[in-house]
Every structure is written in structure tokens, then in C-alpha cells.
A and B are shown apart, each in its own frame.
Chain A
């Protein structure tokens, strides 16, 4: 999450869309989205930078580690298809993980040609520490918002994800 032009632009478009504002009574809410997203995107950049200093991992690398820790051993091909990155790019990421002892490449017992990526103890521990950091943050967030509002927020984040996804050309999402 290096940069969040999209989130900023979404809010800006909502705010600046005079036609939308004229037609829709939600315009007051849209006015707040601009500043809210602008602050949020800058915070995410700071968050990634701060986490990267502690762990030496980018957000994408953290997401790959999360996928393997939570979903179990994975083939390179499945990881590359999940994150839509080239195998050559993934290979250098996995090499870095192996050098840091976060992941291990292991041949399967049934077919030694098949290699699976396993999270090491160190990898699981690192991911767990990130998850704890997030859990503390989310716990604080929950304590600041009324229960119903928190539930609405969780759903709204989901809706935002789908709106961004649906707007992408098919080749970028499949």
C-alpha cells in the first residue's frame, strides 16, 4: 500500500461530482469522504513504512506470508495466481523469505517434483506479531465506535473493496 491515490480520488470524485450532489441527498456525507480518505491514505503509507522498518517486509510480502500461514503450505503457482504477480517476481520474494528464515521450500512426499512453501516458526511468529499489532489497533477502534457503527464500518470496508474491484477491467481482477 505504497500510495493511495485511488482512495483519495474516490473521495474527491464523490465530493466534486456536482451532478451527483445535486441529485443525491447524501452529498453532505460525501463532503467528508475527501478529507477522511486523504488522511487515511497518508496514515496507511506511514503504517507500511513503520512496519517495514520493524520487519523488513512490504505490505505485499506481509500478505503473502499471511496467506501461507493461514491457508497452509502452497505451491508457487497458486501464490502467484492469488496475488496476480509473475512467477519470476515471486521467486525473488520467496528467496528473500528463505534467506530471512521466514519460509521453507519443501518437496512433497507423494511427488518430489512438487515443491510447497511452508511458513517457518520464525515466519509464523513474525506474522503473529503483526496480527497482534493490528488486533490492538482494531480493538481500540471498536472501543471508540458504538457497536452498530462498528458493524456498519466493517460492512462498508467490504463494499469499498467490491466497488474498486468491479471497476477494474476484467483482466486486472481475474
Chain B
């Protein structure tokens, strides 16, 4: 099926494809915004978010969460530690165990970023009704399952 036939046969699928491409494109710009404003990558921000929201984490746990190799993660963490956004701390229960925690500066950066996200959340809340929000959740979940199955 060529491009024209594909579009003609499934106009709604073609629309979804376009909308997801547009979403991917604007998300790329959002990532640029993070990089420009906070001088860190979107993945760095995700790591910061994880240790703030869920509390200090072991490197192994973070690696598993983001499906990143420990060797790769170590250099990422070294970089954001040098920016004084996170710190490695020994566990109180077992000093051999090292956890990654957010620094006060890291918390400040994330709080500022959260305000931006809050704005997006409010816009989304205004523009979508309950059914559309439910459909968004269900659709994203199904799509995630299909992507993982294809992997």
C-alpha cells in the first residue's frame, strides 16, 4: 500500500500518525527548552525527578528504571553531580550501600521545572473532557504495550 492509498483507506490512522509526529516534534522542542534553560538533558531531568519524587535510589535501581547500562548511567550521574544537582550518599542502614539523592539546588531546579509542567497540565485539563482524558490514558497504555511487543 503506497502513501496515498494508506491515507485514503485509513483517514483516522493517518490523522493519528500526523498527530503523533507533531507530538514528537514539539516534544523535541520541549527537550531543547529543558537543555537551554537548565543546562541538562531531558533524561537528566527525569533522573532528578525520580530521586525527588520517590526518594534516594541506588544506581542499580535507576539503571533498571530507565533501562540504561550502569556504565552509561555512571557518567550521566557524574555529570549532574558536578553540576551539584544530585549527591551520592551512604545509606544509614548499611554504609556500604550508596544512594543517589537530590541536592537543594537540584530540588530548586525541579521545582522551577514543575511550574512549567503545571502550566501544561492546566492547559490540558481545560482542553480535554473526562472521556478524552480517559481515552488518552488508555490509548497511551495500549500503544506502549504494542511498542514493547514489537521490540
Interface set of A (CB-CB < 8 Å, partner B)? 1-10, 12-14, 16-17, 20, 24, 26, 29-30, 32-33, 36-37, 39-47, 50, 59-60, 63, 66, 69-70, 83-84, 128, 131-135, 137-142, 144-145, 148-169, 172-173
Contacts and interface: CB of A to CB of B under 8 A. Distances in A.
Given A135-B10, A145-B138, A159 B124 contact: yes
B6 A131 contact: yes
Bin chain B's interface residue count.
35 or more
A56 B115 CA distance: 37
B41 interface: yes
B147 A83 contact: no
Contacts of B24: 1, 59, 63
A155 B16 CA distance: 8
A10 to B, nearest CB: 5
B29 A168 contact: yes
Interface of B: 1-3, 6, 10, 12-13, 15-17, 19-34, 36, 41-43, 45-46, 49, 53, 66-67, 113-114, 116-125, 127-128, 130-148, 150-151
Contact of B119 (A46, A153, A167): A167
15 contacts: A2-B41, A17-B118, A40-B141, A41-B46, A42-B67, A47-B150, A50-B151, A135-B13, A135-B17, A141-B142, A141-B143, A145-B135, A156-B133, A156-B136, A167-B116
Contacts of B66: 42, 45
Given A17-B118, A169-B33, A173-B29, A157 B2 contact: no
Contacts of B124: 10, 14, 159-160, 163
Given A1-B28, A157-B23, A161-B26, A172 B33 contact: yes
A120 to B, nearest CB: 15
A45 B67 contact: yes
A69 B145 CA distance: 29
A145 B22 contact: no
Most B Cβ at <10 Å: residue of A12, A13, A84: A13
B147 A165 contact: no
Given A14-B125, A150-B135, A156-B135, 8 more contacts: A43-B144, A137-B143, A138-B16, A153-B136, A157-B139, A159-B128, A161-B19, A165-B26
B94 to A, nearest CB: 28
A145 B139 contact: yes
